[in-house]
């Protein structure tokens, strides 16, 4: 049962081959048996999941089911879920049961999906390896001595290990796509504003975006269709109709123009990863696509610009965690200043503190123009690079990450090296573009991800491009040894 895709499981549920309760019990049993090896879950919601599964079975019997009704999924622990601990992987929120549902949580509940738990993540989504979590690092199911990527590493690992068929994640600078690549699953970051951020605890408000993890583009299309849409409670949500993503999957790729930025195939790219990406591009050529060399000249500025903008926004967003209203509170404070200082000092981990300090410095008087304003100007140049490119091509492709999964602890003391793990993904967030990672091969037994970037609100096209590739390859069907 755990080896079947979301689409196959939905067919089984409709046909009565299995019930949602049976499927949910099977997922919970696998989590109980296998997650000790991975640490992918922070919270498992067994009783709530079984109650939701029984309700889903009733909907199916009544003929009121949709494509996600009765399907178990895992929720990144950054989406508020009423009555369930929502920790953001931080000691700061270790005791915080959310008093309301995020819009994405509400939409998936309305669709009949069954949440089996909340997944582990880098603290407040700050990290590229899932090693900054208060609850300990997540392990990569392909090699448990290696990282799964971050910050949504728990969600990616849970899908890769077949603990759940699909999961949710968030992406601020690559936090869906990079772990998808390192764990060998499909992950999509939608256009900024396509998925509501209401109830999604903020890291960097102008960059964060929720999206799906799945084994295939077809499964991701079904999950995204339920997650996407306008939300009046989110001022950044875009009032634009949601396309019928599943209906767009089968469109032919004949004549598709694929842009290959020369900047994505230069120094720093592992030779084995580069060879796997080249093989994937040749597969697209056989499917009728045309490969076009392009340039994105400001690509080299993406990482430095991001690491000014994102910390600046996080320093503002995380100022609300003061030990007064909710979250961690230091014991026996001497006065208000001591309460603030110790609550934040004890509640936040080293990476979060580092980014708060950088961001506060960049926003301070005398440095705002030199750093934050300049980074926003660079951001505009990066966006204009993409707009010019999309006048020539339909999608842009390259590697998702420069290497395969690195070893746990390998980059823990070298934050700059860690930040460069997102060198190919960050620009799409700065520009607000949709992008996805597809499984595209292996190097020494570790997955490689193909990165596909589209123009604004072309998620349907990206899913179509991914699906057609997955019809002629089997990388997305591979399962890590020991999790079959």
Q: What is the pLDDT of residue 415?
A: 85
Q: What is the pLDDT of residue 419?
A: 86
Q: What is the pLDDT of residue 376?
A: 97
Strand partners for 453: 396, 435
pLDDT, average across residues 401-407: 97
Token readout for 34 is 């296998």
Q: How many CB atoms lie within 10 A of CB 361?
A: 15
Asked whether the bond before 151 is cis by omega within 30 degrees of 0, the reply is yes
For residues 93 and 47, what is the distance between their CA atoms, to the nearest angstrom?
Answer: 22
Token readout for 96 is 């915080």
Instruction: Indicate the pTM of the whole model.
Output: 0.96
Classify 115 as helix, strand or coil.
strand
Q: What is the pLDDT of residue 1?
A: 80
Q: Does the pLDDT value for residue 227 go beyond 90?
A: yes
Strand partners for 438: 450
Chain segment 100-151, per-residue pLDDT in tens: 999 999 999 999 999 999 999 999 999 999 999 999 999 999 999 999 999 9
Q: How confident is the model at residue 281 (pLDDT cuts 50, 70, 90)?
A: very high
Q: What is the pLDDT of residue 414?
A: 86
Domain map (residue ranges) of the chain: 6-254
216 is catalytic: no
Greatest CA separation found in the chain?
70
Chain segment 50-109, per-residue pLDDT in tens: 999 999 999 999 999 999 999 999 999 999 999 999 999 999 999 999 999 999 999 999
Give exposure, 127-160, as e/b (b: 16+ Cβ within 10 Å): bbbbbbbbbebbbbbbbbebbbbbbbbbbbbbbb
5 is catalytic: no
pLDDT, average across residues 385-390: 98
Say which CATH topology domain 6-254 has: Amidase signature (AS) enzymes (3.90.1300)
Average pLDDT value over all residues in the chain: 97
In percent, the amount of the chain with pLDDT more than 90 equals 96
Check: CB of residue 20 under 8 Å from CB of residue 56: yes
Q: How many helices (H) and strands (E) in the chain?
A: 15, 11
Which of the residues 76, 107, 139, 189 is marked catalytic? 76
Q: Does the pLDDT value for residue 366 go beyond 90?
A: no
**Lowest mean per-residue pLDDT among 181-195, 248-262, 370-384, 404-418:** 404-418
76 is catalytic: yes
Which of the residues 19, 87, 128, 175 is marked catalytic? 175
Which of the residues 20, 151, 152, 237 is marked catalytic? 151
Token readout for 13 is 């549920």
Q: How confident is the model at residue 413 (pLDDT cuts 50, 70, 90)?
A: confident
Q: Does the pLDDT value for residue 477 go beyond 90?
A: yes
Q: Report which secondary-structure segment, H or E, holds 447.
A: strand 446-454
For residues 243 and 221, what is the distance between their CA atoms, to the nearest angstrom?
Answer: 10
Residues 6 or more apart whose CB falls under 8 angstroms from that of 352 comprise: 90, 123, 124, 126, 132, 314, 318
For residues 275 and 279, what is the distance between their CA atoms, to the nearest angstrom?
Answer: 6
Q: Does the pLDDT value for residue 203 go beyond 90?
A: yes
């Amino acid at each position: 049962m755990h080896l079947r895709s979301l689409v196959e499981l939905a067919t089984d549920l409709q046909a009565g081959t299995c019930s949602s309760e049976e499927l949910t019990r099977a997922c919970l049993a696998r989590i109980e048996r296998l997650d000790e090896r991975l640490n992918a879950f922070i919270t498992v919601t067994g009783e709530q999941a079984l109650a939701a599964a029984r309700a889903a079975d009733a909907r199916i019997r009544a003929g009121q089911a949709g494509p996600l009704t009765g399907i178990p999924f895992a929720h990144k622990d950054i989406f508020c879920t009423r009555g369930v601990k929502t920790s953001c992987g931080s000691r700061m929120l270790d005791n915080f049961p959310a008093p309301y549902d995020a819009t994405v949580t509400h939409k998936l509940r309305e669709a009949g999906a069954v949440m089996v738990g909340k997944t582990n993540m880098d603290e407040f989504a700050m990290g590229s390896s899932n090693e900054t979590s208060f609850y300990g690092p997540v392990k990569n199911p392909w090699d448990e001595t290696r990282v799964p990527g971050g910050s949504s590493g728990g969600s990616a690992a849970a899908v890769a290990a077949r603990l759940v068929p699909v999961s949710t994640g968030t992406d601020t600078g690559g936090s869906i796509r990079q772990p998808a690549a390192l764990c060998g699953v499909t992950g999509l970051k939608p256009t900024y504003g396509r998925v509501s951020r209401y109830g999604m605890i903020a890291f960097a408000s102008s960059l964060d975006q929720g999206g799906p993890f799945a084994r295939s583009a077809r499964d991701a299309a079904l999950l995204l269709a339920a997650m996407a849409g306008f939300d009046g409670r989110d001022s950044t949500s875009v009032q634009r109709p949601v396309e019928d993503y599943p209906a767009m999957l089968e469109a032919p790729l004949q004549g598709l123009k694929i842009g290959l930025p020369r900047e994505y195939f230069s120094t720093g790219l592992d030779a084995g990863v580069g060879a796997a990406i080249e093989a994937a591009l040749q597969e697209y050529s056989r499917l009728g696509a045309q490969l076009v060399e392009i340039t994105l000249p400001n690509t080299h500025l993406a990482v430095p610009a991001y690491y000014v903008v994102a910390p600046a926004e996080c320093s503002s967003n995380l100022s609300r965690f003061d030990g007064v209203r909710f979250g961690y509170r230091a014991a026996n404070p001497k006065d208000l200043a001591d309460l603030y200082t110790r609550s934040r000092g004890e509640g936040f981990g080293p990476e979060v503190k580092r980014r708060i300090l950088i961001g506060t410095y960049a926003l301070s008087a005398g440095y705002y123009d030199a750093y934050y304003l300049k980074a926003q100007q660079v951001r505009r140049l990066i966006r204009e690079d993409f707009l010019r490119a999309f006048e020539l091509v339909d999608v842009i492709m390259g590697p998702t990450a420069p290497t395969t999964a690195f070893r746990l602890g390998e980059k823990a003391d070298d934050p700059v090296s860690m930040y460069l793990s997102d060198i190919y993904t960050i620009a799409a967030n700065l520009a607000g573009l949709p992008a996805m990672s597809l499984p595209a091969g292996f190097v020494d037994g570790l997955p490689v991800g193909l990165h596909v970037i589209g123009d604004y609100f072309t998620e349907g096209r990206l899913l179509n491009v991914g699906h057609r590739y997955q019809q002629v390859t089997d990388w997305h069907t591979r399962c890590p040894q020991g999790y079959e």
